[in-house]
Structure 1
Amino acid sequence: MTTQPARNTQPAPLVIDGLDVPVLTADTVVVGTGSAGYCAADRLHDLGGGTIVMVADKIGAGASRNAGSDKQTYYKLTLSGGDDDSVREMAETLFSGGAMDGDNALAEAALSARGFLHLVDLGVPFPQNRYGEFIGYKTDHDPRRRATSVGPYTSRSMVTQLEKKVQRDGTLILDECRVVDVVTTTAADGTRAVAGLLVLRTDVPHVPSPAQETETHDGDGAAPASPYLLLRCSNLVYATGGPAGMYRTRVFPNGQWGASGAAYRAGVHGKNLTEWQFGLASTKPRWNVSGTYMQVIPRFVSFDAEGGDEREFLTEMIDDYGALMSLVFLKGYQWPFDIRKARDGSSLIDLLVYRETVLRGRTVFLDFTRNPVQDTFDPSALSPEAYDYLERAGALTGTPIERLRTMNEPAYQFYLDRNPYVDLTKDLLEVDVCAQHNNGGLVVDAWWQSNVAGLFPVGEAGGAHGVYRPGGAALNSGQVGATRAAQFIAARRGPEHVSVLEDAAFAVAAAPVLADARALVAGATARAAAGEPENVHELLRDLQALMSEKAGPVRSAASIGEALTQVTAWLADYEGIVTASASSRQSVNRTFLVRDTLTSAYVYLSAMQDYVDHGGRSRGSVLYTDAGGDLPVASWGEGAGQALDLPEIFRFALDGGALDSEVQEAALDDGEASFRWRPRRPLPEDDDFFENVWRAFRDNGNVY
């Protein structure tokens, strides 16, 4: 019988690649301190899943804590009123979004109430009436009233309460750790399994040369702290968020980067990577301008590069006053860019903003101080839906800011509390069509385990969604995925089931990963020491600009090909061209961050190219330019149904659900992306005979 390495709260040194490296051992490492990561740690603790360590690049950063919208939504099973609903019906709603696996849809529906009520018990103040019903409302792509909210900071409230619970549990949380690479082992049959994780500690200086790494001491004679830390484990819960760093025009908060590249290098497959969600958002500060911000019908204006030549540009294309007002109002309900609504609906607004910012190089703002088109607001021109809503809200008169403060004072106050500060009573609000969420991600099975044994992508890192999803489904998916992963680890991958590697085997597995990291930094810092200008920050900016211009909400086979050619070249040459200062912790940190982002961008662009080659057309939140398609048309006046005078880049053909029953999976093998298309997994058939289910459940976890 072999002796298991001790699980320690303090790292123990181990000689790997000729270097003394601190190694911390745990059964499960949770990467990421957002709501999904904290949920996984919380559940693992309560389920007795073994020792747990959490790591994050910056605990206070990330989308859960810093992103939101006018009324950030949590989507769950109906828990109020007399409306019909069931687990199966909610699963069918999720499944109907296209390209979503049925077992994930059923699990998200089945565990939605459990995840939601757990948050309630932890202290998230979801509204309930005096009888205890949790009141809901209808969100986008939702046939019921399953949505609920605690306001613009729903996810922040979630992460705050989950964090308190994890801290009460005493779980070790390590901050300022940049993911470098996943350590894996490969079995004789080619299957891979998690063995650990290499991170860069960004809270200590980097030693520039291997000799100094082993010989340099600080003032009291002690060896300097190693900038590298290895975490040895059997399980990784990968809650790193989506690869937000790929895009320049994004509403993801500063500090949300993702770490998907390391997963792809470790052999984890991707799923539905083409399916990004885009929407109108303010850029300074970053925030979704959904809901009330659009329903009060602000004025859209643009300026040239010098800040002059003000234009109320929507009127150039939408020359009917009532239609313009009604389409802007609808953006509140229909906030994400939806190609199905671009032909003659509210998503035409997104395309016109995109034309101003990307094609014309202008800057777009929302003006809440004046009414669109004319000084006096004329509600009689509104569509019945818009008129009735504003009438019930008591907001049929005044200016947009007066309507906003009447309907939703906190939405106004929000921008007063941000950096930069914006007072909507007098300031214009800069906006653009921004990357907001990746519906695809790393592949997951019914228990949120990837194709690499022991690696569980949860939250936005995991590709659990389809092409469309109800608003708020992402928050529920993160809680469900984390819970499912914790259940499976506790039942099948705890310390009594799966052993961490012993010292010698772990050193063998980790050595090439560590050697590669050291060589990358040594080359980058040596070039800087030799006088070459530092370029790691410039590379990141250039990549982000390229992705937003060529692979954002409007794409074509040509633009994707151009971007892929450039990213492939950058990635192939990266080890020889990246230059970073050894004396700058941020510079060394970004050496790994940029490599990770380039890796993700290469896989994502390759997936977009493969999607087009597979016959994919415009769907979800993306317009693929198609010379054989149609331009958007007017939905108003005498010219209704006639094509608008828009650039040919906006000519498209709808997918029409042609690929809804298929899932695209991506793999990175020896630096080359490859793809397969498979049928999506169907919704599981009901097995609701009680005695059978009870027997399986009693039999020590046959449900797993």
Structure 2
Amino acid sequence: MTPPRLTPEILSALTRIPMPRGFEEARLSQTLQVDGLELPVYACQTLVIGSGAAGLRAACEAKRRGRDVLVATGGMYMGTSACSGSDKQTLHTASTSRNGDNFEILATDLAAGGCMDEDVAYVEAVGSIGAMAGLQYIGLELPEDKLGAVLRYQTDHDEYGRATSCGPRTSRLMVKVLLEEAQRLAIPFMTNAAAVKILTSGVGEARRVSGLVVATKTTTHNPFGLAVISCEDLVIATGGPGEMYRDSVYPKKCFGALGLALDAGLELSNLTESQFGIGTPRETFPWNLSGTYVQVMPYVFSRDADGNEYNFLADYYRTTRELVSNVFRKGYQWPFHATRMLEFGSSLVDIAVHIEITKGREVFLDFLRNPKPAKDGKAFSLDDLDADVRAYLANNEALDALPIERLVRMNPLSIELYRMNGIDITKEPLKMAVNNQHMNGGIDIDLWGRTNLHGCYAVGEAASTHGVTRPGGSALISGQVFGTRAAKHIAYANRAAPSGAQEAWGPVLQEMISELKAVTENPCAVDLREVRSSIQARMSEAAGFVCSGNAVAAALNEAEALVQQFASRSVGLLEPHRANDYFMWKQMALSSAAVLAALNHYIAGGGGSRGARVILDESATGLPETVDGRLEAFRFRPEQEHDKACKIMVSLVGSALTCTERQIKKRDRAPVFFEKGWGEFLSQQIYTD
């Protein structure tokens, strides 16, 4: 059979994806007078903050169920869903392969790393089929064979081949079709509106969401751009805290909502769990270097300031075959994992890259050259590879002479993607680093996406739906599942606007305006740019994928001091119309302190290396080896099995961050019979606790 020819038009359509324009706009409801300023007020039943794939799914599903929905977003087409990806970005669902897969097995795999509630894992497994079918129904073209079966492949933490992809911009295509659906449903949007304060009414058990304060760059009602949105339900879908780390693959201006949530009394969980892996640096074009980028086995080298090149991986692996086979395995073992440093595994690549960068060198992938020999001196050969590596390349008819030729054969879209961002990997090496990529923790939710605040839900990366590890790509489908689940529960609850809400807002709004006036008028205040650099450097150096107890504890002290600087109004706002930036970095200061508090609690309690973090400990037993001997500087604590059974919870009590632990929720495994289950569905008992 003649290999298919992917024309430039096909490649362009899957990489240069235009987004729909011209949405309904939010309509002004009234204005409030607070402390001499006028604040515009908008009203809706269900407010979604965030315009990524998870938030848009929640908005569309809620609107379809009769709710008056408004989407507020800090920036259209700017978040991780619209801008991020990898070589062939993955949607992960129950498998149609003949491997004995089912929902029980998928739920078990989702929670295999521990720290994931069993009911949430099962909900995600069961909901994955419908979530994907819904995307197909509204226009997402998933790849199929001629018999109509969706094409699948294997990814990290997945033995069943449950992954599929539309290419490197799968999540952008998801956003596109969901935005088109939002247009069809006439859902209004408020753009350039950063969420800065959740408004509530009632106290104790009766406390609930009643609105949101946003800082916009469009309103002319007041110099700070403040506006209020009244709502009956709030869905937080703001993504992850991408600006928290200097070494990050997130797009710019991704702040998440962890600080916003803590300030409103929401509980967070699993903040110790993030993903880190190799990718291109943020200052170039941030992108994950997983899948075929490494499966074609490019030459990995470093370069010092004088231009000298180093075949540095030869200092780690015993043979050329071992070296190149582990570079290949980064394709489906992409996230760093401490155990894969052992026995000359694939995460030695991440450690080696990290060490080169700390030496002041730059690290590159070169697709124009095959790998150079390891210390055994054997030249690279496609006939001398581990069996799984050779079989993969042979099955894909990718036994071409050079890495770039193998990449053209297997994934030409990956080349086009960099080319459209000004980098031509057919002509020059690709700079790389080890980056923060995803927050597995977040706002703690139940099986309907509910938080501990009545009327408030969280979906997507903002929510703590994942445990320590997750099958690669499962985050995309998780956001779709819980976006739908939250909308169903919102429609069931059918709340009405609380009475007396605006009276409760007065003191809160007055305090916010007082703070903004004070920090604008303070000539000696700390500059926000200094705040940004201090947070990002601290988190990358002390709370990245390599951690130690002493460094985390010291960083926590510094982070808490920064939070207090904001509390004492010692951080300045140079221009009133940049109030959104002030609040975003105020929230990020609190978010970073919360992550460090959770890590400090975990490490001080004896927690070991798990997920994408290695906990260094000179007295511990974990010890990676290289061809030249032991890596004593990376001696680490192994994971403690008992830690998998609980989640670390973080909350803000007064002005102090508090860490506690709770056992993961077990799932009722009693069989449900049709007649009984049908009755519970028809009577809506399934929505009750």
TM-score for both structures, normalised by structure 2? 0.91
In structure 1, what is the equivalent of residue 212 of structure 2? 197
| CA apart distance, 1:303 | 2.8
CA offsets per residue over residues 330-387 of structure 1, 9 Å max, x none? 1112111111211121001001111122x32332221222222259642233212222
| CA apart distance, 1:226 | 6.7
1:114 pairs with one of 130, 135, 146: 130
1:66 pairs with one of 51, 65, 83: 83
CA offsets per residue over residues 609-645 of structure 1, 9 Å max, x none? 011122211001100111222454448xxx6xxx834
In structure 2, what is the equivalent of residue 232 of structure 1? 230
The code of the aligned residue for 1:299 comes to: Y
Report the Cα distance in structure 2 between the residues aligned to 1:658 and 1:373, rounded to whole angstroms. 43
Residue 606 of structure 2 corresponds to residue 615 of structure 1? yes
Structure 2 CA distance for partners of 1:430 and 1:515, relative to 1, 3 Å: farther
Report the Cα distance in structure 2 between the residues aligned to 1:625 and 1:287, rounded to whole angstroms. 28
In structure 2, what is the equivalent of residue 14 of structure 1? 32
The code of the aligned residue for 1:90 comes to: L
CA contact (8 A) 1:581 1:588 kept: no
Matched ranges for 1:437-476 at <5 A: 437-476=438-477
| CA apart distance, 1:471 | 1.0
In structure 2, what is the equivalent of residue 412 of structure 1? 415
CA contact (8 A) 2:623 2:632 kept: no
Provide the secondary structure at the position in 2 that maps to 1:405: helix
Report the Cα distance in structure 2 between the residues aligned to 1:254 and 1:155, rounded to whole angstroms. 17
Provide the secondary structure at the position in 2 that maps to 1:678: strand
1:660 pairs with one of 620, 634, 644: 644
The code of the aligned residue for 2:289 comes to: V
CA offsets per residue over residues 274-303 of structure 1, 9 Å max, x none? 000111001121000101111111222223
The code of the aligned residue for 1:566 comes to: E
Residue 164 of structure 2 corresponds to residue 148 of structure 1? yes
Report the Cα distance in structure 1 between the residues aligned to 2:388 and 2:106, rounded to whole angstroms. 26
Question: Which stretch of the first structure deviates more once superposed, 509-518 or 172-181?
Answer: 509-518
Report the Cα distance in structure 2 between the residues aligned to 1:466 and 1:655, rounded to whole angstroms. 14
Report the Cα distance in structure 2 between the residues aligned to 1:397 and 1:112, rounded to whole angstroms. 37
Report the Cα distance in structure 2 between the residues aligned to 1:20 and 1:588, rounded to whole angstroms. 15
Residue 17 of structure 2 corresponds to residue 33 of structure 1? no
CA contact (8 A) 2:292 2:331 kept: yes
Residue 540 of structure 2 corresponds to residue 548 of structure 1? yes
Residue 484 of structure 2 corresponds to residue 489 of structure 1? no
CA contact (8 A) 1:368 1:425 kept: yes
Report the Cα distance in structure 1 between the residues aligned to 2:629 and 2:219, rounded to whole angstroms. 58
| CA apart distance, 1:95 | 2.4
Provide the secondary structure at the position in 1 that maps to 2:342: coil
Report the Cα distance in structure 2 between the residues aligned to 1:81 and 1:380, rounded to whole angstroms. 29
Matched ranges for 1:661-676 at <5 A: 661-676=645-660
Question: Which stretch of the first structure deviates more once superposed, 310-319 or 342-351?
Answer: 310-319
Residue 629 of structure 2 corresponds to residue 644 of structure 1? yes
| CA apart distance, 1:307 | 5.5
Structure 2 CA distance for partners of 1:30 and 1:15, relative to 1, 3 Å: same
1:561 pairs with one of 553, 567, 588: 553
Report the Cα distance in structure 2 between the residues aligned to 1:129 and 1:276, rounded to whole angstroms. 35
| CA apart distance, 1:181 | 1.0
CA contact (8 A) 1:377 1:399 kept: no
| CA apart distance, 1:701 | 4.3
1:692 pairs with one of 676, 681, 685: 676
| CA apart distance, 1:403 | 2.2
Residue 198 of structure 2 corresponds to residue 182 of structure 1? yes
In structure 2, what is the equivalent of residue 266 of structure 1? 264
- 5+ residue gaps, structure 1, are 1-6, 206-222
Report the Cα distance in structure 2 between the residues aligned to 1:328 and 1:145, rounded to whole angstroms. 20
Provide the secondary structure at the position in 2 that maps to 1:85: coil
Report the Cα distance in structure 1 between the residues aligned to 2:612 and 2:241, rounded to whole angstroms. 17
Number of equivalenced pairs: 656
The percentage of counterpart residues that share the same residue type is: 35
1:87 pairs with one of 103, 119, 129: 103
CA contact (8 A) 1:197 1:232 kept: yes
Report the Cα distance in structure 1 between the residues aligned to 2:597 and 2:537, rounded to whole angstroms. 18
In structure 2, what is the equivalent of residue 77 of structure 1? 94
1:402 pairs with one of 385, 401, 405: 405
The code of the aligned residue for 2:583 comes to: F
In structure 2, what is the equivalent of residue 160 of structure 1? 176
Residue 507 of structure 2 corresponds to residue 512 of structure 1? yes
Question: Which stretch of the first structure deviates more once superposed, 458-467 or 307-316?
Answer: 307-316
Structure 2 CA distance for partners of 1:632 and 1:404, relative to 1, 3 Å: farther
Report the Cα distance in structure 2 between the residues aligned to 1:594 and 1:225, rounded to whole angstroms. 19
| CA apart distance, 1:60 | 1.5
Report the Cα distance in structure 2 between the residues aligned to 1:656 and 1:667, rounded to whole angstroms. 24
Report the Cα distance in structure 2 between the residues aligned to 1:365 and 1:511, rounded to whole angstroms. 55
Residue 562 of structure 2 corresponds to residue 570 of structure 1? yes
Report the Cα distance in structure 1 between the residues aligned to 2:333 and 2:159, rounded to whole angstroms. 14
Provide the secondary structure at the position in 2 that maps to 1:342: helix
Residue 413 of structure 2 corresponds to residue 428 of structure 1? no
- 5+ residue gaps, structure 2, are 1-24
Provide the secondary structure at the position in 1 that maps to 2:669: coil
In structure 2, what is the equivalent of residue 500 of structure 1? 497
CA contact (8 A) 2:154 2:163 kept: yes
Structure 2 CA distance for partners of 1:77 and 1:389, relative to 1, 3 Å: closer
1:382 pairs with one of 382, 385, 391: 385
| CA apart distance, 1:56 | 0.3
Report the Cα distance in structure 2 between the residues aligned to 1:423 and 1:593, rounded to whole angstroms. 35
Report the Cα distance in structure 2 between the residues aligned to 1:292 and 1:632, rounded to whole angstroms. 30
| CA apart distance, 1:74 | 0.8
In structure 1, what is the equivalent of residue 41 of structure 2? 23
CA contact (8 A) 1:277 1:620 kept: yes
CA contact (8 A) 1:32 1:239 kept: yes
| CA apart distance, 1:190 | 5.3
| CA apart distance, 1:424 | 1.1
| CA apart distance, 1:179 | 1.2
Provide the secondary structure at the position in 2 that maps to 1:627: coil
CA offsets per residue over residues 36-78 of structure 1, 9 Å max, x none? 0100010001112x21111000011000001111111111122
Report the Cα distance in structure 2 between the residues aligned to 1:191 and 1:469, rounded to whole angstroms. 36
Report the Cα distance in structure 1 between the residues aligned to 2:102 and 2:118, rounded to whole angstroms. 15
The code of the aligned residue for 1:270 comes to: L
In structure 1, what is the equivalent of residue 15 of structure 2? none
| CA apart distance, 1:144 | 1.8
Instruction: State the Cα RMSD in Å.
Output: 2.2
CA contact (8 A) 2:91 2:476 kept: yes
In structure 1, what is the equivalent of residue 120 of structure 2? 104
